[in-house]
Amino acid sequence: MATLTEIPNAHRRGDERFFLFAAIAMAFVIVAGFSNQLAMGRSTFYSPPLVHAHAIIFMGWIAIYLTQNILVASDRMEIHRRLGWVAAGWIVPMIVLGFAVTIAMVRRGQVPFFFRPLHFLVFDPVSILAFALLTGSAIALRRRTEWHRRLHLCGMAMLMGPGFGRLLPMPLIQPWAWEASFAAGLLFPIAGVVADLRRSGSVHPAWRWGIAAMLSAFILIEAITYSGVGKALYRVVTADSPGAAVAPLEFAPPPPTPLLTGRP
């Protein structure tokens, strides 16, 4: 079992720098993406309470993740451990609100026009569950520091789609908009692989497991979306709602006015 004290100091400092810079970069992408959405007039503070709750909880996770990496880099491990238990409980409302907002948007027929409605219904919840699986594994392996921090980063990478999706020209890369945002998030664990190779000449197995979990989630999302299971799921979710009239695998036309996310 590799604990923090058993890792050579130079290697440990290199790890800490990489994960701190990665956390800063991830937080920057999320904040920049949502700030850009607001600045471009595509978002509004006059959204339903459910959307605000979702935003607070998910932005709270970004803050927790960044803070945890700062605490490790500054060797304040006791606070890091205590905050870690808060983070573990934080995952539950993330799953609940992530599912709730996705279902609400699909039922209202308000999926962004560069996504297929059924695809949106599948990729958001599955991405959140993959995040929860990776993060839960990281927590379970908290005494194995090298596994812990790498699995945490892979879990965080599963949440990067909304940030990149607000920075990339999504309408221009339709019909591969979601796939592009997923690939952008995958750059973070790939950077971790490269950092390992430069630092030690080998790749820690946590990266292989983490990236494999991410790619498995990607394959599962694509498989469900284009299967009878996905279509049946869409019918159940949209029953007796405006979304039932929306074709599950067709793109909606671009809106004549700026799309205001989260509006009823």
pLDDT digits (tens, 9 = 90+) for 83-102: 999 999 999 999 999 999 99
pLDDT digits (tens, 9 = 90+) for 41-96: 666 666 788 988 999 999 999 999 999 999 999 999 999 999 999 999 999 999 99
Residue 30 near residue 163, CB atoms below 8 Å? yes
Instruction: Check whether 200 has a pLDDT greater than 50.
Output: yes
Kindly indicate the confidence band of residue 40, based on its pLDDT and cuts at 50, 70 and 90. low
Compute CA distances 7 → 17, 146, 147, 209, whole Å: 14, 9, 12, 21
* Mean pLDDT, the chain, integer: 90
pLDDT score for 37? 72
What is the spatial distance between Cα 247 and Cα 109, in angstroms, rounded to a whole number? 10
Q: Is the CA virtual torsion 82, 83, 86, 91 positive or negative?
A: negative
pLDDT score for 57? 96
Let me know the angle formed at the C-alpha of 92 by 91 and 98, rounded to the nearest 5 degrees: 85
Query: How large is the C-alpha radius of gyration of the chain?
Result: 19
Question: Residues of the chain with pLDDT > 70: what percent?
Answer: 88
pTM for this prediction: 0.89
Long-range contacts of 177-185, Cβ-Cβ distance < 8 Å, separation of 24 or more: 177/114, 177/115, 178/115, 178/119, 178/120, 178/123, 182/218, 184/160, 185/157, 185/158, 185/159, 185/160, 185/161
